[in-house]
Amino acid sequence: MTDVLTPTQRRLCMSHIRGKDTKPELIVRQMIHAMGFRYRLHRSDLPGKPDLTFPRLKKVILVHGCFWHMHSCRYGRVKPATNPAFWESKRLSNKKRDAIKRKELQYIGWDVLVLWECWTKDLIKLHNHILSFLSDKQK
């Protein structure tokens, strides 16, 4: 028996993956709330609709899934066996769009932190990384 999915099975699996309120995003939001920081979600008036926005601090946090945004970790290097050219193209366009939106945010004066899904596995390091970013008063 093979582990390769048919195109129909792959399409069904991929269609159930959410763009908002993902498990990594919820972990980050709960952690930040417990730290005492308050934020706004998915502001549509900012480039890329950042996952978390801290208007008073002029900072945003983007929580990226390793697979979808091609992180350099083992999860980001996975290549689907079904229709690999399509998924490679899709993921590369996500990565390119991410870079553009990050530069647009920085251009209009926002500090940007990208948190990767794999980082949510080590909560202590994640906490320290977030706290360092949100506590930094320098621009």
pTM of the model: 0.83
Residues in the chain: 139
CATH code of domain 20-135: 3.40.960.10
The tally of CA atoms less than 13 A away on the side-chain side of residue 44 is 0
Confidence (pLDDT) at 87: 85
The owner of tokens 């208007």 is: 55
Give tens-digit pLDDT for 67-110: 888 899 988 888 888 788 988 999 999 999 999 999 999 999 99
Give tens-digit pLDDT for 8-50: 765 666 555 655 678 899 999 999 999 999 999 999 999 999 9
Task: Give the residue from 39, 19, 44 showing the smallest Cα distance to 28.
Answer: 39
Residue with more model confidence, 5 or 110: 110
Instruction: Based on DSSP, count helices (H) and strands (E) in the chain, helices before strands.
Output: 4, 4
Whether pLDDT at 125 is above 50: yes
**Phi, psi of 68, deg, nearest 5:** -65, -30
Confidence (pLDDT) at 80: 82
Measured distance CA(117)–CA(73) in Å, rounded: 10
